[in-house]
Amino acid sequence: MLKLYFEDSLIKTNDYLSFLVPILWIPDKHIWWESELQISNWYNTWKMLIERTDNKQESDYFVFPVYFNLDLFDELKSLSIDAKALNKKVLVFYTSDIEDYIDINDNIIWFKRSLNCFWPQNEYSLPAFPNNLTYEVTLDDIDKSIYKSISIWYTWYSNYYNLKTFLLYYCLQFSRIFFSITFIRKLLLKTKNEHRYHLLTTLWIWKYVRWKIISELKKTNNINFNYIERKTWLYIDVKEKLRQEYLDNIKNSLFSLVVRWNWNYSFRLYEVLSLWKIPLFVDTNSKLPFADEIDYKSLFIYVPFSDIKNIWKYVFEFYEKNKNNLVNIENEIRKIYLNYFVMEKYYEKIISKLS
């Protein structure tokens, strides 16, 4: 049994980690499509594995019970000091590019969107837990004729590509070098404002990068690019017609384009994995979950960010190499999704690792 210590004062109503479901029952508000059945399944799966203790000394770990953000910087620092005094670690989960503010030597981190290029042993990638699309689309719904040619799905919500983002695109490498300089990072730590942090570290170049990829795919012969552009976010509770269009576009395409947005992270990746789809994955030096166990490069069309102008070459090479094995790859992708990225399984693995 894993014993966890945390402070109630950090918890807001319905605003804490799903990891703590066995102790606190209601999961965090970030997962907005949870059902009572899912909550019950998580509770019954994990309740025999972890428990809460109010005794700091007898605990196995301290837990920061909400997603970390810069407003909570002082609270995490205080908890980390208490844990370090007892030779313990704090478990921290966060979703933003703010790893500079977390002392990775005194904590164990699960992150979603990291820009950091150096990966310590106690830093782990946290997947999204989107709605399993097989609740809405089954394998029988997928047209088998899609295997006969190359088709790529993509839906995005912005048409933001102009001279400003074009120029910012060429600032990428400069920004990475600039913000890796020690004294600049120290100055950055004085900026406890997440919006400003993201602005400084990413320079908002990624919308242009998406447009660049899309333009390359649009002009490529022998690729059916099933591209939809929207003016708004496509949340889970949008109008039924738009949702159905989104799903139909995925299921009627062989591959699915996956590329980061402003954060080094893709929500779509986990949606398409749930639906047997092979990602056309643009690698922006992101760390994928369980990369030491999953051979992503054999299952994905893996495109280095530095070579996006030749993205079509990677598509053709993958298709020619695997066109007689696509169904097996899709089945392997679905198996990986069920074994690693369903929330019950993911947290079971976390608990096992911590134990």
Q: What is the CATH number of the domain that holds 295?
A: 3.40.50.2000
Query: What is the distance between the alpha carbons of residues 304 and 259, in angstroms, rounded to a whole number?
Result: 11
Note the pLDDT of residue 67: 86
**Domain end residue (candidates: 126, 151, 169):** 126
Collapsing DSSP to helix, strand or coil, 271 comes out as helix
Average pLDDT rounded to a whole number, residues 223-235: 75
Q: In whole numbers, what is the pLDDT of the chain averaged over residues?
A: 80
CB atoms within 10 A of CB 269: 24
How far, in Å, are 56, 282, 305, 355 from residue 345 at the CA level? 28, 26, 31, 15
Asked if residue 190 has pLDDT above 80, the reply is no
Average pLDDT rounded to a whole number, residues 21-35: 68
Residues 32 and 111 in one domain: yes
Q: Is residue 233 part of a domain?
A: yes
User: Is pLDDT larger for residue 79 or for residue 16?
Assistant: 79
Half-sphere exposure of 332 (CA within 13 A, CB side): 14
Note the pLDDT of residue 184: 61
Q: Is residue 352 part of a domain?
A: no
Asked if residue 117 has pLDDT above 50, the reply is no
Residues 141 and 257 in one domain: yes
Note the pLDDT of residue 141: 75
Q: How confident is the model at residue 221 (pLDDT cuts 50, 70, 90)?
A: confident
Q: How confident is the model at residue 28 (pLDDT cuts 50, 70, 90)?
A: low
Residues 81 and 228 in one domain: no
**Residue % of the chain over a pLDDT of 90:** 27
Number of domains making up the chain = 2
User: Is pLDDT larger for residue 12 or for residue 190?
Assistant: 12
Q: Which residues contact 187 (CB under 8 A, 6 or more apart)?
A: none
**Residue % of the chain over a pLDDT of 70:** 74
Note the pLDDT of residue 296: 94
- Find out whether 98 and 201 touch, Cβ atoms under 8 Å: no
Q: Is residue 140 part of a domain?
A: yes
Tokens (6 digits) for 320 = 């020619």
Q: Is residue 192 part of a domain?
A: no
Q: Which residue segment(s) compose the domain that 241 sits in?
A: 133-161+207-343
Note the pLDDT of residue 104: 67
Q: Is residue 25 part of a domain?
A: yes
Query: What is the distance between the alpha carbons of residues 263 and 201, in angstroms, rounded to a whole number?
Result: 10
Asked if residue 159 has pLDDT above 50, the reply is no
Residue located via tokens 């708004």: 232
Average pLDDT rounded to a whole number, residues 256-279: 85
Residues 157 and 69 in one domain: no
How far, in Å, are 65, 261, 265, 271 from residue 256 at the CA level? 34, 15, 15, 10
Provide Rg for the chain, Cα atoms.
21
Query: What is the distance between the alpha carbons of residues 90 and 81, in angstroms, rounded to a whole number?
Result: 10
Q: Where are the beta strands (DSSP E) in 112-210?
A: 123-125, 151-156
pTM here? 0.81
